[in-house]
Every structure is written in structure tokens, then in C-alpha cells.
């Protein structure tokens, strides 16, 4: 997928350039703050970020603004290695990074699961994770703006979301959908 390769390359540059890192933090800050409010994330939550990449900005900001314990998974060993190195270099604790396919992950220890737009197959991954999750677990799923939908394979039935938040004009993310696992 083109967007995945583009994002991986961008994250490599972000890791090496402090100015780009600050720009990425500024870009994601309003998205993540909206998602924290949407899901009601608190320090007692355990958060799983599916599709963290080499520079897990969403996880970094979740940790910074909530104090929650975060686990990031990515299916690319190179990204996982770089993410661990980057977090260590930045002195950021409370975030574990694991190499794993989202669809093969067991998420029954997590109260919040966040799926990046690059997760593929999105619908199947969400269904599998919701099936395995504990009761009342919250799922945040980012969806692209309409003009970017062809770049992502992120297809999800938005009608099943219990709430959503719309993001700013300057983001490639259109909405973050909130799903709750009610058994």
C-alpha cells in the first residue's frame, strides 16, 4: 500500500530531525486530544495501539496526556526495532512496542484499542479484536477524509459506532469512530 510506505519513510525522517518531530507532535496533538475525550481515556486504562509504525506519535501523546500504560503493535519488525530505539533515545517510558499482526493480537487485557488508518484488513481486524476484548472495551478507529479514501484500505461499518469525532480541516483523518464491546 503506497500510503504505508510513504508513512514509514516520513517517520524515518521524523526520527532524525527534531523540527519534523515537533511538527508531527503539533499535527497529531488535536487528533489525539479529541480521541482521549471521545473514549474517556484515563491513567487507569491500558491502551493498545494497532499500527504504531517507527515513530509512534499517537502512543507518545496518549501516554503524555493520560499517563495510561500503552502497548504499540506493528507487523513490520523494522518499524518495531526503530520505534523501540526512538522511544529509548527520547527517554519515553510506559510504552511497550511489540511485533505482531493486529488480527492475530489478543487484546483481552486492554480497556482501549486504537486502530491506525493503515491497518489492513481493517474491518476483519476490528471484528476479531472486539470478539476477544473484555466487556466494555472501547475501540477508536480512524477513518480517512473522503478525498483520501482511495489511499487507504480502511473500510469499517461506521453505523455500528456509538459516537465519533470529526477532525480539523488540516488532517488526513476525517473522523475517529468509537465502538464499545458490549457482550
Judge contact between 101 and 134, C-beta under 8 A: no
List, run by run, the mean pLDDT of 10-residue segments along the chain (183 residues).
Answer: 66 82 92 97 98 94 98 96 96 97 93 92 92 95 73 69 85 86 76
Ordered by start, the domain boundaries in the chain are 2-180
Sheet holding 173-180, edge to edge: 95-99, 69-74, 46-50, 112-115, 138-144, 173-180, 163-166
CA–CA separation, 129 and 103 (whole Å): 7
Q: Is the peptide bond before 68 cis (omega within 30 degrees of 0)?
A: no
Specify whether domain 2-180 bears CATH 3.40.50.150. Answer: yes
pLDDT at 3: 59
Q: Which of 25, 104, 110 is nearest to 70 (CA)?
A: 110
Residue partners of 61: CB distance under 8 A and separation at least 6: 25, 28, 29, 32, 33
pLDDT at 181: 85
Amino acid at each position: 500500500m503506497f500510503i504505508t510506505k510513504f508513512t514509514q519513510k516520513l517517520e524515518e525522517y521524523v526520527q532524525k530531525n527534531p523540527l519534523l518531530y515537533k511538527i508531527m507532535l503539533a499535527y497529531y496533538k488535536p487528533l489525539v486530544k479529541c480521541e482521549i475525550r471521545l473514549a474517556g481515556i484515563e491513567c487507569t486504562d491500558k491502551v493498545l495501539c494497532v499500527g504504531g509504525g517507527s515513530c509512534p506519535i499517537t502512543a507518545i501523546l496518549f501516554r503524555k496526556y493520560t499517563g495510561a500504560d500503552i502497548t504499540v503493535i506493528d507487523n513490520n519488525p523494522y518499524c518495531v526495532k526503530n520505534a523501540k530505539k526512538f522511544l529509548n533515545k527520547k527517554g519515553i517510558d510506559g510504552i511497550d512496542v511489540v511485533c505482531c499482526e493486529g488480527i492475530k493480537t489478543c487484546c483481552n487485557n486492554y480497556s482501549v484499542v486504537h486502530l491506525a488508518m493503515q491497518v489492513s484488513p481493517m474491518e476483519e481486524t476490528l471484528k476479531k479484536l472486539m470478539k476477544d476484548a473484555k466487556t466494555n472495551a472501547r475501540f477508536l478507529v480512524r477513518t480517512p477524509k473522503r478525498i483520501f479514501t482511495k489511499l487507504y484500505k480502511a473500510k469499517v461499518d461506521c453505523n455500528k459506532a456509538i459516537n465519533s469525532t470529526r477532525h480539523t480541516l488540516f488532517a488526513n483523518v476525517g473522523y475517529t469512530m468509537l465502538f464499545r464491546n458490549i457482550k
